[in-house]
Amino acid sequence: SLSERLSAVAAHLPKSAHFVDVGSDHAYLPCYVCLQDPSSKAVAGEINEGPFRSAQKQVKLQGLIDRIDVRKGDGLAVVAPDEVKQVVVAGMGGPLIASILEQGKDKLGHVEQLIVQPNIDARALRKWFQNNGFVLQKEQILEEAGHIYEVLVAVREGKSIYHEDVAVREKELLFGPILLKEKNEAFRAKWLDYKQKLERNVANMQQAQHVDEAKLASFKKELIWLEEELN
């Protein structure tokens, strides 16, 4: 069965989805979606030979070769400009996912929905959405096997959910405007852990000979936010 993490990603796709899963590895996600919904189809993209072969093997095994096209290539280079309606990129760092979207911009013209699952630095994606005409629509944070994952969904149309105040917005970009309102258990666990790391970092920096003052200031600002939000 599919991991909770990938099930959470899959759950955001609409019925009759036509999507690309970039960095599909074993193609577990598109196989799961296409088995559940006979009207959906997908492209599974992989840059590396090993995972590309695993994807091909899995798609064959599940009898899905007519609905899941496994393609080898970098990011969104595997799809044509008008080909898919949804884009999924999961299990990579936020900055890498953002660079995949940035480099594949010419393929996003007809894309209605982006579903991303960054392992670190979701802020990089919130910023990318803002700067590129996508509206953050949903956010989820969940824990599985001791790891905490975030899933973000962005669409083309809709009202911005960020606060008008720039200072508040800056905070929302880090924590996630929706996640910050909910503050569930996974959210608290993630940020409590981060806070402890940050406190150690700041203490070490304050004892060091040469201090990156800008970095120290930004860490201190984050610590204030964390104190405000984790009570």
Instruction: Decide if residue 121 touches ligand SAM (CB under 6 A).
Output: no
Candidate list 20, 34, 45, 87; residue touching ligand SAM; CB under 6 A: 45
How far lies 140's CA from each of 17, 60, 136, 190, in Å?
Answer: 20, 32, 12, 13
Beta carbon of residue 6, minimum distance to ligand SAM (angstroms, whole number): 6
Smallest gap, in angstroms, from Cβ of residue 39 to ligand SAM?
Answer: 23
Reported as type and span, the H/E element at residue 198 is: helix 185-207
Of 1 and 231, which CB lies nearer to ligand SAM in the complex structure?
1
Give min distance, CB of 23 to ligand SAM, in A: 3
Contact 142, 136 (CB under 8 A): no
Cα–Cα nearest to 139, from 190, 100, 101:
190
Whole-number Cα distances in Å, 154 to 8, 76, 116, 224, 231: 15, 17, 9, 29, 29
Select from 30, 75, 94, 104 the one that contacts ligand SAM (CB under 6 A): 75
**8 A C-beta contact, residue 90 and residue 6:** yes
Q: What is the C-alpha separation between 4 and 140, in angstroms, rounded?
A: 12
CA angle, residues 179, 3, 54, in degrees to nearest 5: 125
Shortest CB 47 distance to ligand SAM, Å: 4
Would you say 84 or 173 has its CB closer to ligand SAM? 84
Query: Among residues 51 and 176, whose Cβ is nearest to ligand SAM?
Result: 51
Cβ proximity to ligand SAM: between 151 and 180 the closer is: 151
Judged by CB under 6 A, does residue 46 bind ligand SAM? yes
- Contact string 47-66 vs ligand SAM (x = CB under 6 A): xx--x---------------
The DSSP letter of residue 209 is S
Contact status: 118 vs ligand SAM (CB under 6 A): no
Q: Which of 23, 30, 118, 177 binds ligand SAM (CB under 6 A)?
A: 23
Q: Which residue has the tokens 């120290």?
A: 216
Look at strands 113-118 and 18-22 and give their pairing. Answer: unpaired
Number of residues that bind ligand SAM (CB under 6 A): 16
Residues that bind ligand SAM (CB under 6 A): 6, 22-25, 45-48, 51, 74-75, 90-92, 100
